Amino acid sequence: MKYKIFIVLLMFCAVTNLAAQNNSIPVDSAQTYHLPADSVANDTIRLYADTFRLIDQLKAMDMDELLLQLVAMQSAQLHANDTTTDTLAIDTLTAEEIMQQDSLRREKAEIDSLRLANSDLQAQTLANMPAVKIEKSWVKDIEEDRNDVLRSIRNMRTRWRKEATIMAQVTQIYVTPNWYQGGSSSFAGLGTAKGQIGYYGEHFTWENTGEWRIGGSTISADSVHKVNTTDDMFRLYSKANLKIVPKLFGSLSAEFDTRFLPTYKSNSKDLKSGPFSPVRFNIGVGLDCKPITGLSISCSPLSYKVVHITDTARVRGKDYGLKAGQQTQHNIGSSVRIEYTWKPVREVSLESKFYLYTNYHDVELDIEVNCDFIINRFMSARLMLHPRFDSSVIMKGDDKAKMQFRELISVGFAHKFR
């Protein structure tokens, strides 16, 4: 009983305070009571009436529901002078909706302050240093916005940038032998690890990228091999730039790639590639232009390329442009490399690479497009398109070089370290 009397007194004080500030006291969402502004006596009588009505409601209502209505009344008073809120519609909102609007206002103010602080940090960065910025997002994530700002503060203390990404994705198909449409059961997996580290000075930059992709599959129709290697590529790429004029650099680049696992033809023991077969190395000197953020256009009029086959006894050299009996091929020519990274929103990332090399006799063209879709912080989907053409490579059974193409769609685990 004492507890209820205390609550009633508290309700009376709250109603008295609100009535003194506003001539309208919305008690519930169904009705609004208006008081005559020119009659103090009527105000007092009406206050007592409202108090007794609250006492009656206290007996019939749940305490949490009554307190929720008082919160709604106070929210209406707090936002009465807010120009961004339609004050005429406040009385029509429920208590839950008003509280939700208050929460959204606080979150918006917090994000705006983070963006302002981050823009101030970016204004102090060097011209050719990649600034960390708060990206657009389909999904509101205040924690990610905070991490972006903290990363900007950390990056201001050093000229080095580093980032790493790991992905593991699988695909599984099971078909019984008596399935009416036929087909084969299969299981495929793909793992990717990619790391980037770079130094970004005022006149000198040095970018380094390492990537290892490994994938395999099992096909019940292949009776010779339990597991086939579908993807195996280890690549290192390094580029040093010296600033000549804004957005134009003198460039020295080097790329190394090879394979670690054996790859066989289906239902055959013929080896298509093996450990360090082949090994490719390319070094070039030229210019690097960065007209916009995320775009790099490198042109190397002088480029040196080496292709080496370690296991010449089992790996066919002609599949990689080597002549019969040749283990290592040296070429001097020119190359063009275009890289573009585009992130329209935080959840979508598009990375594309265009590579063209010629020794003025043969042409090698390689295009790789990877599009990653972030589902959540630990899940993603990837779409990869990889067309390739090499005029010096003539496969067994063909009379001329043909376009090669590879495509991949996968879903799985992904995580980024920064």
Tokens at 26, concatenated: 């919305």
First to last CA, the chain: 60
Distance, CA of 298 to CA of 296 (rounded, Å)? 6
Instruction: Check the CA dihedral 344-346-347-349 and report its sign.
Output: positive
- Answer yes or no: are the C-beta atoms of 288 and 336 closer than 8 Å: no
Q: Which residues contact 97 (CB under 8 A, 6 or more apart)?
A: none
Mapping DSSP to helix (H, G, I), strand (E, B) and coil, where does residue 398 land?
Answer: coil
Structural domains of the chain, with CATH? 2-93 (no CATH), 160-417 (2.40.230)
Distance, CA of 285 to CA of 240 (rounded, Å)? 10
pLDDT, position 199:
92
> Half-sphere exposure of 62 toward its Cβ, with a 13 Å CA cutoff?
3
Distance, CA of 376 to CA of 364 (rounded, Å)? 38
pLDDT, position 305:
94
Q: Which residues contact 216 (CB under 8 A, 6 or more apart)?
A: 188, 189, 227, 228, 229, 230
Q: At what angle are helices 40-60 and 2-21 packed, to 10 degrees?
A: 140
Cis peptide before 177 (omega within 30 of 0): no
Instruction: Check the CA dihedral 172-353-303-390 and report its sign.
Output: positive
Q: 363 vs 35, 256, 304, 327, CA distance in Å?
A: 88, 19, 14, 20
- Answer yes or no: are the C-beta atoms of 410 and 190 closer than 8 Å: yes
Tokens at 120, concatenated: 């101030």
Distance, CA of 377 to CA of 371 (rounded, Å)? 16
pLDDT, position 133:
57
Scan for tokens 């023991």, then name that residue: 269
Q: 213 vs 63, 216, 258, 290, CA distance in Å?
A: 61, 10, 11, 28
Distance, CA of 272 to CA of 229 (rounded, Å)? 10
- Which run of H or of E encompasses 116? helix 95-122
Distance, CA of 59 to CA of 4 (rounded, Å)? 10
pTM value is 0.64
Per-residue pLDDT of the chain (418 residues; tens, 9 = 90+): 545 555 555 555 555 555 444 444 344 433 333 434 444 445 555 555 555 555 555 555 555 555 555 555 655 555 555 444 444 444 455 556 656 666 666 666 666 666 666 666 555 544 455 555 556 777 666 667 667 766 666 666 778 888 899 988 887 777 777 776 667 777 888 899 999 999 988 899 999 999 999 988 887 667 787 888 888 899 999 999 999 998 999 999 999 999 998 888 777 778 888 899 899 999 999 999 999 988 999 999 999 999 999 988 888 888 888 887 789 999 999 999 999 999 888 889 999 999 999 999 899 999 999 999 888 878 888 898 999 998 888 777 777 888 989 888 888 888 888 7
Residue type, 207: E
pLDDT, position 98:
58
Residue type, 115: R
Closest CA to 345 of 369, 378, 372: 372
